[in-house]
């Protein structure tokens, strides 16, 4: 997410207030906020969910809608969202035990 520099602190307040509620949401296993090293107004939320259904349930929730309504006006560029799954575990890479 790329924020307008003057809106950065506003987003931090929103995130700090919302994060405990998101972490407590059914299916959320992990939530972090990452900052780009070169461009400090570019942030990424990194979360782990029990599955795609749990993430989708969160995205349909009032909590998401309320948080998004406050966050959306702060962007300097359209946000990007990605859902990923593990392709190679760290353990498999270190041991060379990869399935093809």
Classify 75 as helix, strand or coil.
strand
Residues 6+ apart with CB under 8 A from 39: 2
Q: Is the pLDDT of residue 4 over 90?
A: yes
Model confidence pLDDT, tens digit, residues 47-90: 999 999 999 999 999 999 999 999 999 999 999 999 988 888 88
- Domains defined along the chain, listed by start: 5-79 (3.30.70.100)
Tell me the pTM: 0.85
Give 16-58 as a DSSP string.
HHHHHHHHHSTTEEEEEEEE-SS-TTBEEEEEEESSHHHHHHH
* Whole-number Å distance between alpha carbons of 63 and 19: 10
End-to-end CA distance of the chain: 34
């Amino acid at each position: 997410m790329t924020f307008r520099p003057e809106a950065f602190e506003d987003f931090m307040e929103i995130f700090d207030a919302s994060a405990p509620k998101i972490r407590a949401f059914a299916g959320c296993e992990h939530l972090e906020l990452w900052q780009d090293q070169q461009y400090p107004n570019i942030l990424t939320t990194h979360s782990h969910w029990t599955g795609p259904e749990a993430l989708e349930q969160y995205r349909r929730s009032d909590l998401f809608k309320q948080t998004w309504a406050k966050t959306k006006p702060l962007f300097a560029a359209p946000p990007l969202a990605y859902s990923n799954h593990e392709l190679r575990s760290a353990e498999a890479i270190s041991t060379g035990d990869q399935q093809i």
